[in-house]
Amino acid sequence: MSKKEDFIKSINQGYTFKGESLILGASKYEDQVVPEAIIKIPLKTLNRHGLIAGATGTGKTKSLQVLAEAMSDNSIPVLMMDIKGDLSGIAQPGEAKDFILERTNAAGITYTPTGYPVELLTLSDQKGVRLRATVSEFGPILLAKILGLNDTQEGILSALFKYCDDQALPLLDLKDFIKVIQFLSDEGKADFENSYGKMSTTSLGTIMRKVIELQQQGADLFFGETSFDVDDLMRIDKNGRGMISILRVIDLMDRPKLFSTFMLSLLAELYAGLPEAGDEDRPKLVIFIDEAHLVFQEASKALLQQIETVIKLIRSKGVGIYFCTQNPQDVPASVLSQLGLKIQHALRAFTASDRKKIKEAADNYPLTDFYDTETVITSMGIGEALVTALNEKGVPTPLAVTYMCPPKSRMDVLTDSEINDLLAGSKLVDKYNKVVDRESAYEILNKKLEKAAEEEDKTPAKVGRAKQEKSTLETILTSTTARQVGRTAANILTRSLLGALGVSTRKKNWF
């Protein structure tokens, strides 16, 4: 038996599964496509998470698109984080161009242009279904981690939430939360301390500043109502295909803290709300995070630990998470070790540091008798990738250079008119895009203060009573600027905290 025949036998044995699978492409050996050795992934292990890595322009996004299409074809709903804005074209059929047919013919794969069921989502003012969560749903523990509070400040934050629960003060958006801080730093301070103990004015000021910092990254657009229901991510269309929800976060690249906040709240709510899935034949939902380094680069140590913990546990709920980034080292080692599927596109070595990273990347893959992994990583062409997955027993499949299938959908963005047509047919736009601002802590406390002021005006001033000057912090907290910040911060942060604790003020709602 020749070495090529030995290679084909090894690949076919390693990539033959009992259950259903999806096709990634044909293997390559000695720079030749081998259509007799097809690279597949079992649906059963798609909840074991994955990594798509490689230098800019090597085909990572197209591999992500191919995976999403195949999952949709197999009735698996998909959520994609579209950081660069180049994924919306998946809603339209592709074109059978010569270079695409040349690729599919070489791999022995039939190409059929296909558009997929797509829902466009947004965290900002871009076109799409608005995602929101209330502050109460987010809860004190998760909010404290996002704000980077110390133990003392976290204790005060928990007491603030307890106070609001006891006083029936709904915390729906950031202006509610800021108003509560303002109230408890002045008029309500004595009443609060009688029931919940003393709190430091300095700590209150720190919490306020950190909320404003988060607000400046656009969190107002995230906290508020109507909260998003995670069940709307898990829909199947009338043809039995999984819905592909594309979250357009093009304007969040320079606001990584908000992106980390959103991702953690989503994962926490999914984990809290979904039942244990057991050993099912396919996942309930798969999430693709493009430019994954944005989730980790600005996260505090506490927030990073929370993200890592949820990622480790959420696969038991039938949810798979796939990170797309330039270098595997962009993902923390503790997360990287949890990833079952690895699709490694080419890396480029221009410096000594680059060569070191390539060696580290090569060490993350199984040993093979057919490739020099470190050399292959730098020599693969566009649309080629080193692949290893897990079989049904959780054993890594043989490492294979894969000639990846091209996407069947459009490899470009939708036009504005196509986006408008897509949103016009959406069932979720009317459900979530109407702004709801019901009475909550902000309005209740304002009424309380107005009533107190009216009563004070009717009461004669006592002789000898000197009007006390406000502290510097109290002056800042009640200033026009702070009130404007409160109004600005009202809409984005509000939905996920109680979800992280397994507690929810609304059935199944997430954001």
Residue 191 within any structural domain of the chain: no
- pLDDT (0 to 100) of residue 341: 94
Per-run averaged pLDDT (10 residues), the chain, 511 residues: 90 92 94 93 93 91 95 96 87 93 90 96 86 87 84 92 93 92 89 88 91 84 86 93 91 68 79 83 92 72 75 88 88 85 90 85 86 91 94 92 95 92 92 84 86 73 47 46 36 33 38 30
Beta-bridge partner residues of 385? 402
Residue 454 within any structural domain of the chain: no
- pLDDT (0 to 100) of residue 503: 38
Cα–Cα nearest to 426, from 81, 72, 130, 71:
130
Rounded Cα distance, 185 and 472, in Å: 11
Residue 495 within any structural domain of the chain: no
Cα–Cα nearest to 401, from 68, 23, 9, 26:
26
| Cα torsion through 353, 356, 357, 361, rounded to 10 | 170
Inter-residue contact 118 to 244 (CB < 8 Å): yes
| Cα torsion through 66, 70, 76, 81, rounded to 10 | 10
- pLDDT (0 to 100) of residue 10: 94
Cα–Cα nearest to 167, from 138, 196, 141:
196
Inter-residue contact 484 to 174 (CB < 8 Å): no
In sequence order, the 6+-apart residues with CB closer than 8 A to the CB of 482 are: 178, 182, 208, 476
- Other CB atoms within a 10 A radius of the CB of residue 390 amount to 21
Given 3-state DSSP classes, what are the helix, strand and coil percentages for the chain, each rounded to the nearest 5?
45, 15, 40
DSSP category for residue 349: -
- pLDDT (0 to 100) of residue 497: 32
Residue 214 within any structural domain of the chain: no
Rounded Cα distance, 456 and 415, in Å: 60
Q: Which domain holds residue 372?
A: 3-117+241-426
In sequence order, the 6+-apart residues with CB closer than 8 A to the CB of 351 are: none
- Helix residue ranges per DSSP H, 134-286: 135-138, 140-147, 151-166, 174-184, 189-196, 201-216, 256-273
Rounded Cα distance, 181 and 18, in Å: 59
- pLDDT (0 to 100) of residue 334: 82
Residue 299 within any structural domain of the chain: yes
Residue 49 within any structural domain of the chain: yes
Residue 358 within any structural domain of the chain: yes
Which tokens belong to 259?
Answer: 């992106």
Rounded Cα distance, 167 and 399, in Å: 60
Q: Is residue 117 within a helix (H) or strand (E), and if so which, with residue range?
A: none
Q: Which CATH number goes with the domain that contains 363?
A: 3.40.50.300
Instruction: Give backbone dihedrals phi and psi of 476, rounded to 5 degrees, phi first.
Output: -65, -45
Residue 290 within any structural domain of the chain: yes
Burial of residue 154, with CB atoms counted within 10 A of its CB: 0-12 exposed, 13-18 middle, 19 or more buried:
buried
Rounded Cα distance, 393 and 129, in Å: 39
Structurally, the chain folds into a number of domains equal to 1
Cα–Cα nearest to 404, from 12, 34, 24:
24
